[in-house]
Amino acid sequence: MTPLTMPISVNWQLLLKAIVGFNVGALIGLEREKAKIMAFKKDESGLQRPSYLGVRTFSFLSLLGTLTAIAPNLAPQFMVVPLSIFLVLTPVTIIILVTFHKLFIIKESGITTSLALIISYVLGVMAGAGLVLESIILSILVTFVLAIKFSITKFVSKITYKELLSALELSIMTSLLSPFFLKDVYDPFFGIVNLRLLYTLFTVILILSYIGYAIIKVLGVKALGYFSFFGGLIHSEATTVSLVEMCSGAGGRLDRMMIKGILLSTIAMIVRNTILVLSLAFLLKGGIVVLCSLSLLPPIIVGCAISGFLSVGMSPNMRGRVSTNLSPLNLRSAIKTTLAFFCTLLTITTVSTYLSSLGIAMTSALSGLISAEAAIFALFSLASKGIISFRLFMQSSLLAIAMAIMNKVLFAKVAGAPSRLMKELMRCMFFLSISCLMGLPLTLLY
Per-residue pLDDT of the chain (446 residues; tens, 9 = 90+): 555 555 667 777 888 898 999 999 999 988 888 877 766 655 545 555 545 577 888 999 999 999 888 888 877 887 878 888 888 888 888 888 888 877 777 777 678 888 888 899 999 999 998 888 889 999 998 988 888 777 777 767 767 777 777 777 777 777 777 766 666 667 667 666 677 777 777 887 777 777 777 776 666 666 777 788 888 877 888 888 888 877 776 656 677 788 888 888 888 888 888 888 888 888 787 666 666 677 777 777 777 777 666 655 454 444 444 444 556 666 776 777 677 777 766 665 665 555 544 566 777 777 777 778 777 877 777 777 776 778 888 888 888 888 888 888 888 888 888 887 888 888 888 888 888 888 778 777 76
Percentages helix, strand, coil for the chain (3-state, rounded to 5) are 80, 0, 20
Whether 19 maps to a domain, the answer reads: yes
The whole-number pLDDT of residue 318 equals 45
The whole-number pLDDT of residue 317 equals 44
Residues 81 and 183 in one domain: no
Domain end call among 147, 167, 185: 147
Please report, as a single letter, which amino acid is at residue 258: M
CB 62 within 8 A of CB 146: no
The whole-number pLDDT of residue 319 equals 45
Dihedral-angle region of residue 51 (phi above 0 means left; psi in -120 to 50 means alpha; beta otherwise): beta
Whether 2 maps to a domain, the answer reads: no
Domain end call among 89, 118, 147: 147
Residues 110 and 35 in one domain: yes
Residues 211 and 255 in one domain: yes
Residues 200 and 104 in one domain: no
Whether 6 maps to a domain, the answer reads: no
Which helix (H) or strand (E) is 267 found in, with range? helix 255-285
Residues 134 and 171 in one domain: no
Please report, as a single letter, which amino acid is at residue 335: I
Domain end call among 118, 147, 176: 147
Whether 254 maps to a domain, the answer reads: yes
What ranges in 312-370 are assigned the alpha helix state H?
A: 331-354, 360-368
Whether 5 maps to a domain, the answer reads: no
Residues 208 and 136 in one domain: no
CB atoms within 10 A of CB 387: 11
Phi, psi (rounded to 5 degrees) for 194: -80, 110
Whether 4 maps to a domain, the answer reads: no
Whether 238 maps to a domain, the answer reads: yes
Residues 235 and 316 in one domain: yes
Please, what is the Cα angle at 288 between 285 and 293, to 5 degrees?
120
Residues 335 and 219 in one domain: yes
The whole-number pLDDT of residue 345 equals 65
Residues 123 and 235 in one domain: no
**Smallest Cα–Cα separation from 264: which of 299, 228, 294?**
228
Q: What is the DSSP letter of 110?
A: -
Phi, psi (rounded to 5 degrees) for 301: -65, -50
Residues near 325 by beta carbon (within 8 Å), at least 6 away in sequence: 249
Residue-range definition of the domain harbouring residue 323: 158-445
Q: Give the Cα separation of 24 and 20 in Å (integer).
A: 6
**Smallest Cα–Cα separation from 241: which of 223, 270, 257, 265?**
265
Quote the number of domains for the chain: 2
Residues 229 and 119 in one domain: no
Q: Give the Cα separation of 228 and 258 in Å (integer).
A: 9
Whether 3 maps to a domain, the answer reads: no
Residues 137 and 269 in one domain: no
Q: Give the Cα separation of 8 and 389 in Å (integer).
A: 60
Which helix (H) or strand (E) is 244 found in, with range? helix 224-247
The whole-number pLDDT of residue 322 equals 46
How many residues would you count in the chain? 446
Residues 377 and 240 in one domain: yes
